[in-house]
Amino acid sequence: MGPDLVFFLLFISISCVTCWSDNGRRHQYDYCVLGAGPAGLQMGYFLSRARRDYIILERSSGPGSFFHRFPRHRKLISINKIHTGSANKEFNLRHDWNSLLSDKSSLLFKRLSSEFYPPADTYPLYLSIFQKELGLKVQYGVDIRNVRAVQMATGVQYLLTDQQASELQCSTLLVATGLWVPQKVDFVGSELVEGYESISTNPEDYKDQTVLILGKGNSAFETAQSIMGRASFVHMLSPSPVRLAWQTHYVGDLRAVNNDLLDTYQLKSLDGLAEANLENIVIAHLKDGDSKKPEKKKKDKKKKKKKLYPRLNKFLLKQEGGKNTSEVSAEELSKYHIDNFSLREPYDRIIRCLGFRFNFSIFHSSARLQNSENAKGRLPSVTAWYEGENSPGLFVLGTAAHSRDYRQSAGGFIHGFRYTVRAVHRVLEYRNHRNPWTSTKLMTSQLQSWILKRVNEVSGLYQMVEVLGDVVLLQGSQCEYVEEFPIQALPQFTSLSGHKVSLQGLIVIIMQYGKKVTDTLGPDRARQINWTTAWRSSFLHPVLYHYDTLPTEEEMRLRPKNWALPRPKAIHHVVEDFLTNWQRPLSHIQPLQRFLEHCLQADLRSFYAESCFQSSLTHRRPPLFCQQGYLKQQGIQHVARPIERVQFSGLMPTKQDGVSSGPDPALANFLAQAGTPVSPGLRLDL
């Protein structure tokens, strides 16, 4: 026993050495989450609930530090709709854009604010309550400066180096650092521009000034809205025209809450919008010596900032062989724009509100994340299950993972990524711990009502439009219902979820808007009341895709234009509904039943016990509904009949004075004597 014990102790001490660094901090975890923002904490919740070995690393002293500073004008534009008229907690999440997912209903955001557009300061407060009450493990003040991937016997491991150069080894790295590096555009004179991150938020500072804002997103309009009451005019410049969220259904586009300036622009009140590619502009100011006014006067005005002149570079650049100074002469200024150039008047301030980009700089080449093709390369490119393309075990969560559904869905926003984080967690649970994706086994006769229940309440599919989908695995009399799978990863469904697809195939349920651009408020916007034209529905509605087998990557790539999924074997659109209640018998339920019947090649109708009785006696087996209900003694009986107090009479042998089990010759005699006319079968030879 002795030597064994020694060995054991030795083992413990060795493992301690490997686990703990000099300053008493552990330096190896199965899961490291970078960033204690909403995505990081959301992942922390799932890891903690699954009792995984994890740590959340946060460089600030508290969670959600981004929200301490942004949005600069301190109003969240994510809606906090508390009163929905429904007690359905899942349904209510459709209209709660701030809460994180947890099993504690007390941890909803509404606890902190009842305002529809809540003040930004409540958000970090909410996050810290969320972290504390769920006991999520966060290390604050750890600023990871470098991330490297190393190949080890156990697979790729990630080594994180913090500001004190201490190292941490992680088997799985979950990057939830968000976007916080201000996005800039290079052009001549860009140094003369102020940034959204540092501008004054006091409207008085803009009194009587002319302001040009670069950008037409929410931060640009938020800024404009704040200063338009003081500034003499506000112009906004960006490559593309304004995109209104209520027209595009994309919450990242301009929200109505910020769009006062559109009013003043279109009601002819000095403000205005213009389009130009920002790379092609130049911002110039007059050379110092260029003023023809006497020195003295100039000194008086010394405090006043120089006026800024935006010009197009094609009028300036070629001048002196590609000059790239922003100092120009007055002569040059007036010469190089066409006569009625929109932005010919000089500006007191030019403010850059171009959003933020992912911080790529901490990733060593061994753990390099590629720039996304969309979103101007501001985001890292990830797989359909949010893993880095060339960095296995490194996942990107939260806003930074928005390249998957940029301008399509809500994956860049709390109310969207809370669900994709859960999806990543489920992927990890299967990959690392062999726990198949959460699923519900249903009797096939219950499938229809389960689908209806889901589409009428589910928030994940509702928020993550065309990104997450429920997958129904058809298995004859049973089916397996897998929730909220990232549908772009369908070709890898089995390896990601641990569920197999049977020969009967699968149904994928997603929510989608109409593919045709319609006038959002026009008279034709919601014309589809007839279920047979449901496929033309323009508002959000459930769509079911039936496949025999999982789509291949090739099929995925060649899917019909604007479709989220390849052409299925059969498709069903549940007609759009003004109340988003897909519960009507004729318009929603029966067409869905027909579709499911077609997919399963079976009669899925429900029957009363009496009909089941008949079909059970006339057929080898009755329809599915009877098999799964009536034959299990759970038939459905007609109602509204007053209870008949029938004492089973006549033949029931239980009757008190009932027949004894033996033959009763007296009866037979009676029968014979009475000479009753009987059918041949009853002509007993007595």
Partner 1 sequence: MSTDPHRMLVKSRVCFMAALLLLVELGECAEKTNSSELHQFTAVEFYDKLHSGKMMFVYFELQVSPTISLFLAELAKSAEVLQDYGVLVGKADCSKEAIYSYCTDQRQLHTAFLFRGGKEFLGLNLDTVFDVNSIVSEVLFAILREEVKYVHTDADLLAMEKSARGQKDLVLGYVSSLGTQEHRSIMETAYVYGSKYQFILITGGPVLKHLGINETSQSSQVWFLHCQRHSGPRLTSVHCPLTRMKKPLTIISLHSFLQLMEAPLVSEVHEDPTVVPPPQFPYQDTPQVFVFSRPETHHLDLDTATALAWRLRGIATLLLVHRQSPAVKTPDHYNLAYRRPQKSLEVKFVTLHNIDEVLEILSHEEQEAEEEKDGGEEEEDEEDIELHFGSLSDEIAASVYNNRDTFLDMDSITELTSENFHTVVAQSDLTVVLFYLKWDAVSITVLESFIEIADRFADSEVPGVQLCSVDCSEWTDLCSTEVGDSSPFPFQPIISFPTVLMLRPKEAAQHYSGMLGIMALHRFIMLSCQASPVTLSSQEEVTSFLQEVHHPELLGPKPDRMLGLFNTPTNEGVAVFFEAAKSLRGTVLTGLVTGTLAEKWAADQQVELPAVLVFPSWGRHTGPTTLSMSSSAEELLTSISSALLHPLPELTVESLPSVLSVDKGLLLLFVGEEEDEAGLRQNQLLLEEMRKVVELGGDKMEAYVACWIHLGRTPAGLSVLGSYLGSMPPLPALFLTHSPSTDEIYQYPPSTPIRAASVVQWLQRIQDGAEPAAGMLGADTWPPSGKFYDFLKVMDTEEPGSAQQQEPEEEEEEEEDKERVKGKMKNTEVTGSSFSSSSSAAAAHTHSEL
73 and 432 Cβ atoms separated by less than 8 Å? no
Name the residue nearer to partner 1 (CB basis): 121 or 457: 457
Distance of CA 386 to the CA centre of its chain: 12
The backbone torsions φ and ψ at residue 679, rounded to the nearest 5 degrees and listed phi first, read -70, 160
Name the residue nearer to partner 1 (CB basis): 35 or 514: 514
The burial of 374, by beta-carbon neighbours within 10 Å (0-12 exposed, 13-18 middle, 19 or more buried), is given as: middle
Name the residue nearer to partner 1 (CB basis): 144 or 351: 351
Residue 225 corresponds to which amino acid? Q
Min CB(13)–partner 1 separation in Å: 36
Name the residue nearer to partner 1 (CB basis): 33 or 565: 565
What is the rounded CA–CA span in Å between residue 182 and residue 197? 7
The pair of three-digit structure tokens given for residue 541, joined into one six-digit string: 């509605």
Min CB(288)–partner 1 separation in Å: 28
Min CB(576)–partner 1 separation in Å: 14
* Element at 169 (helix H, strand E): strand 167-175
Name the residue nearer to partner 1 (CB basis): 103 or 331: 103
Name the residue nearer to partner 1 (CB basis): 181 or 602: 602
Min CB(461)–partner 1 separation in Å: 15
In 3D, which of 503, 501, 504, 466 has the Cα closest to residue 485? Answer: 466
Min CB(608)–partner 1 separation in Å: 6
What is the rounded CA–CA span in Å between residue 330 and residue 335? 9
577 and 529 Cβ atoms separated by less than 8 Å? no
Name the residue nearer to partner 1 (CB basis): 23 or 562: 562
Name the residue nearer to partner 1 (CB basis): 15 or 88: 88
The burial of 654, by beta-carbon neighbours within 10 Å (0-12 exposed, 13-18 middle, 19 or more buried), is given as: exposed
Min CB(314)–partner 1 separation in Å: 6
Name the residue nearer to partner 1 (CB basis): 399 or 512: 512
Name the residue nearer to partner 1 (CB basis): 300 or 339: 339
Give me the half-sphere count of Cα atoms (radius 13 Å) on the Cβ side of residue 69. 11
Name the residue nearer to partner 1 (CB basis): 132 or 632: 632
Min CB(90)–partner 1 separation in Å: 5
Residue the block writes with tokens 């023809």: 292
What is the rounded CA–CA span in Å between residue 543 and residue 109? 31
Name the residue nearer to partner 1 (CB basis): 414 or 447: 447
Residue 276 corresponds to which amino acid? A
Min CB(102)–partner 1 separation in Å: 10
Min CB(344)–partner 1 separation in Å: 10
**Buried (b) or exposed (e) across 398-437, using 16+ Cβ within 10 A?**
bbbbbbbbbebbbbbbbbbbbbbbbbbbbbbbbbeeeeeb
Min CB(327)–partner 1 separation in Å: 22
Name the residue nearer to partner 1 (CB basis): 257 or 276: 276
Name the residue nearer to partner 1 (CB basis): 23 or 618: 618
Q: Please provide the DSSP assignment of 211-277 as one string.
A: EEEE--SHHHHHHHHHHTTTSSEEEEEESS---BHHHH--TTSB-GGGTHHHHHHHTTSS-EEEE--
In 3D, which of 546, 258, 270, 588 has the Cα closest to residue 453? Answer: 588
* Element at 129 (helix H, strand E): helix 122-133
Min CB(683)–partner 1 separation in Å: 5
Those residues with Cβ within 8 angstroms of residue 105's Cβ, 6 or more apart along the chain or in another chain: 89
Query: Long-range contacts made by residues 576-581, C-beta under 8 angstroms, separation at least 24?
Result: 576/514, 576/526, 576/528, 576/534, 576/537, 576/538, 576/539, 576/540, 576/541, 577/541, 578/526, 580/456, 580/540, 581/456
Those residues with Cβ within 8 angstroms of residue 131's Cβ, 6 or more apart along the chain or in another chain: 36, 41, 44, 63, 138
* 407 backbone φψ class: left, alpha, beta (φ>0; ψ -120 to 50): left
Min CB(297)–partner 1 separation in Å: 33
**Could you give the residue ranges of the DSSP H alpha helices within 408-567?**
414-433, 447-457, 460-463, 493-497, 553-557
Min CB(544)–partner 1 separation in Å: 10
Min CB(324)–partner 1 separation in Å: 18
Cα–Cα distances (Å) from 323 to 327, 330, 334, 470, in that order, read 10, 16, 17, 58
Name the residue nearer to partner 1 (CB basis): 39 or 556: 556
24 and 127 Cβ atoms separated by less than 8 Å? no
What is the rounded CA–CA span in Å between residue 649 and residue 656? 10
Residue the block writes with tokens 């006991």: 135
Those residues with Cβ within 8 angstroms of residue 490's Cβ, 6 or more apart along the chain or in another chain: 471, 508, 550, 551, 556, 565
Min CB(358)–partner 1 separation in Å: 22
Residues in a beta bridge with 148: 159
Min CB(319)–partner 1 separation in Å: 13
Min CB(292)–partner 1 separation in Å: 29
The burial of 597, by beta-carbon neighbours within 10 Å (0-12 exposed, 13-18 middle, 19 or more buried), is given as: middle
Distance of CA 305 to the CA centre of its chain: 45
Name the residue nearer to partner 1 (CB basis): 143 or 548: 548
Name the residue nearer to partner 1 (CB basis): 257 or 312: 312
